[in-house]
Amino acid sequence: MPVTRALFEDRVDAGRLLAERLGHLKSESPIVLALPRGGVVVGAEVADALEAPLDILAVRKIGAPHYPELGVGAMVDGDNPEILIDEEAVRATGTSRDALLRQIHQELHEIHRREQLYRGDRKRMPVRNKTVIVVDDGIATGSTIRVALQALRRAGTRRLILAVPVAPPRAIESLRTECDEIVCLSSPPWFRTVGELYEDFSQTTDEEVIGLLNKHQSPFLTSLS
């Protein structure tokens, strides 16, 4: 059945509703890592409710050289960047290895640029032996979230939770083995796009992200590892 009305007023509303479902984690003193830009607005509401620190998790889709809207992989930065390549998509788009490497370097450069812009001189939040909640404003296919969860698992998190307002059922099922718990407010079988479940899904600005991170900065930020 197609959607007839939005489920969330905006990202703030979605974040508050999501936070209500995550209250059981407050006693674990979790860390909230949000995907910029829109995920940071949702993550800030979760961080407020759980009295938790907030940081970004810089993840980028790797687009095919001549079809940038079509992802052939994803990557997340860290001391050792994590890269996930969809070999089937690489073959289907005719992407050469040299072209793929160029795309990877471009996206890594963009990740570094965004981290410097958003975080400034603050270092990444430590996640080893911590309960970590990964937040975004929604999931379309799950490829970028997957690489983020894999990187965090390798970084030694104690518990890893994925929390999103909306995602397609197939993506949710495919991600269950990548984390310890998934909290998703809506996973409709007729899912088409994330934005159609929001009344206001306007673009989040860099200034908004920087402001939210400054508000929630922690004195304990150190290396990801």
Buried/exposed code over 92-128 (b: 16+ C-beta within 10 A; e: otherwise): ebebeeebbeebbeebbeebeebbeebbeebebbbbe
Structure tokens at 28: 């674990």
Residue 219 has pLDDT above 80, yes or no: no
Stretch 219-225: mean pLDDT: 37
- Distance separating alpha carbons of residues 201 and 137, to the nearest angstrom: 9
Question: What is the rounded average pLDDT of the residues 48-59?
Answer: 93
Predicted confidence (pLDDT) per residue in 55-65, tens digit: 999 888 888 88
pLDDT, position 123:
82
* Residue whose pair of structure tokens reads 């206001």 in the numeric block: 200
Residue 65 confidence (pLDDT): 81
- The reply to whether omega before 37 is within 30° of 0 (cis) is yes
User: CATH number of the domain at 11-58+121-215, please?
Assistant: 3.40.50.2020
Return left, alpha or beta for 94; rule: phi > 0 is left, psi -120 to 50 is alpha, else beta.
Answer: left
Per-domain residue ranges of the chain: 11-58+121-215, 61-118
Check residue 218 and give its pLDDT. Answer: 55
Q: What is the pLDDT of residue 224?
A: 37
Q: What is the pLDDT of residue 120?
A: 84
Q: What mean pLDDT do residues 185-196 have?
A: 91
Average pLDDT (35-64) is: 93
Please return the burial class of 180, using the count of CB atoms within 10 Å of its CB with bins 0-12, 13-18 and 19+. Answer: middle
- Mean pLDDT check: name the lowest of 18-22, 27-31, 54-58: 54-58
CA–CA separation, 128 and 148 (whole Å): 15
pLDDT of residue 5: 67
pLDDT of residue 204: 96
Q: Quick check: 25 pLDDT over 60? A: yes
Question: How much of the chain exceeds pLDDT 70, in percent?
Answer: 92
pLDDT of residue 44: 97
- CA-based radius of gyration for the chain: 17
Q: Which of 9-13, 140-144, 159-163, 176-180 has the weakest average pLDDT?
A: 140-144
Closest CA to 146 of 128, 172, 122, 127: 172
pLDDT band at 223 (very low <50, low <70, confident <90, very high): very low
